[in-house]
Structure formats: structure tokens, C-alpha cells
Amino acid sequence: MTKFRPLIKNLTPWIYDKFMKQEIKYKADAVLNSHIAEWQSWLINERRYSPHTLDGYARDLREFIDFLADYLGHNINTSDLAEIDIRDFRAFLSDRAARHIEKTSVARELSTLKNFFRWLGRNRILTNTAISVISTPRRPKLLPRALEVRETFKLLDVAKKFGREEWQGLRDAAIFTILYGCGLRISEALALNVGDINHNDFLRIKGKGNKERIVPLLPIVKESVDAYLAACPYHLTNGEPLFLGARGERVSPRIVQRTLEKIRGFLGLPDTLTPHALRHSFATHLLAEGTDLRSIQELLGHASLSTTQRYTDMQTETLSREYASAHPLEKA
């Protein structure tokens, strides 16, 4: 670790802390560990991946390295990675299947491995094209799950009651209102800084891949944020984190998720209610009110219209289910 400390010091403080605290350990020798650090530095500094995405990549690679170390009986080095063949990759996939790992997770892990091996090849560290022959498991077609409008309003109405302190409840209510009112991802909402909202009519958001989009700001969103800011005990200045935790640090996604779990239980809402479900609800409710797909695509920041079209599929599925349950022939 000490040999490549100067290298990883160039990473963002969040990633640097991850390495220093050894939260993600690899069964690899020092040389391979240094290459992994270089790859992660490239992902965040050149590819502009978010810390959340990078954390996922790091954990995916660890799963493979750990499997390979157990499979070969020793810590992995670059020579091992150069010599493994298609049978070894298939053995990894068989192990994931035996552990009942979901196909979506396996597909993501393969994507991570392909990215890592391509990077190793481009940087002339080693060449191994065996993984390119492996087909990615077909992912099940998942439709977004949205709340009903009345359920969404209930959630927003009670959210402020679940904070330990009054200002924390107002913070949570503001976060949920932004997620639903603007269709933001949780990472985008929590990345907001003081001054990003003010009294503008639009919100400028940097989403996945550092792509920027403009989202209209409803008055109720601004009112919710203003109520939180008025109650917040910390002195907030422009450019600092907007949503704070109990100790004055930027609030973590897990805090928001736990609060939503409590609300979910209180209101008897399904387990599918997550912060991301509020973004799905935003899109689904707009579509139901006649907003065109292209506009929803822009508001969500989807690169492809096909991603947004999932909401049409979901609306059709819901309509079919309601039709089947209500039609007299179904009751005959």
C-alpha cells in the first residue's frame, strides 16, 4: 500500500479515504493493487465516474479477484490475469449462479471486468481477450415501480414528522419533494449546494456522465427548501452542501433511505418504495397527464429515448391489469 500511496493521493478525497481505511481489499499482490488504483484513478479523473459508480466497480472487481484467488489458491498477480482463459471466466459465472446472484448483478460485474481488462490492454500491462468471448446474461426486463399520486402526497405530508429534530424532518421533506418534484436521482439531490436553488425558476443538474440538464423548479419545491433552511441550525453559505446531516456534514444517501423505510412502514407502502421510486413516480405521473416522452427524457436526463419508453410499457401494463380486474367478463 505504501508503494502506491502517492498515486492514489491524486484521487478524490472520498476515494483516497476508501483506500486508506482499507474498506475494499483485494487478494492481490502489490503490483496488481497499484494497477487497480491506476485504473480507478482513470475512471474518476478521465471518465468522470461518480464515487458511487466507482465504489460499485471496485466491489465488482473484488468479487472476481477473491474468486480467482480461492480458485487458484494464492493471491493474484498480473501474470495470473494474463494467463486465465475462457474456462476460468465461465467458472466464475458458474460460481455466481451457484450463489444465486441475480443476472443483473452478474451482467454489471462482467461489464466491470471487461472495462478493467480493456484498460490493462490499452496501457500495455497485459493482454487477455478471453473475456470478450463471454456473453452478458440477458437482463430481465424491469419496469419502474411508481407510487400512486395519493400515496406520494401522503408521503410528502408526513415526511417532516420522522426527523429526530424538527429541522431534520424539514430537511427530509425537502429532499423527498425535490426527488418527486424535479425527478432527480438521490445522488443528484444530495450533491446540491447552497445557492443552486435560490429563487430561480430552473435547476441546473449534472447527472450521469457529467451531462447537464435543466429542470423546472416548482414553487412548492422552493418553499420546502426554504422551510428547511430557515430551521437548519448550521450557518450555510453559497457553495457549501445544501442538505446536512446531524454533525453538519453532507447528508448520506443511507440516512435518506432509512427515513423512507420508516415512512414506508408507517403508511403501509410497498417495499419497492425507495428514493429512486420517487423519480419513477415523477415520470409516470407526468406521462399520465399527457407529457410527451421527449420532454420526459430531457427532464430525466436519459441519453436514450428507449430508456424513457419503459414508462409507456409500465402504463400499458397497469392499464391492462385494471381493465382485467374491472371488466364484467372477468367477473362472470
Residue 63: CB partners within 8 Å, gap ≥ 6? 109
Of residues 108, 264, 276, 310, which has the active-site annotation? 276
Q: Identify whether 35 is a catalytic site residue.
A: no
Q: Identify whether 16 is a catalytic site residue.
A: no
Of residues 213, 222, 285, 302, which has the active-site annotation? 302
* Cell 461489464 sits on residue: 111
Closest CA to 283 of 265, 295, 272, 273: 295
Of residues 35, 96, 185, 213, which has the active-site annotation? 185
Q: How many CA atoms lie within 13 A of 283 on its CB side?
A: 30
CA angle (81 as vertex; 75, 87 as ends), nearest 5: 105
Closest CA to 243 of 224, 262, 260: 224
Contact 68, 62 (CB under 8 A): no
Of residues 160, 279, 280, 285, which has the active-site annotation? 279
Of residues 108, 208, 250, 310, which has the active-site annotation? 208
Q: Identify whether 27 is a catalytic site residue.
A: no
Mutual angle of helices 310-326 and 293-300, in 10-degree steps: 120
Question: How far apart (Å, rounded) are the C-alpha atoms in residues 321 and 319?
Answer: 5
Contact 195, 239 (CB under 8 A): yes
Question: How far apart (Å, rounded) are the C-alpha atoms in residues 61 and 114?
Answer: 10
Q: Identify whether 258 is a catalytic site residue.
A: no
Residue 45 in grid coordinates: 479523473
**Residue 75, SS3 per DSSP:** coil
Q: Which amino acid is at 165?
A: E
List residues with catalytic annotation: 185, 208, 276, 279, 302, 311
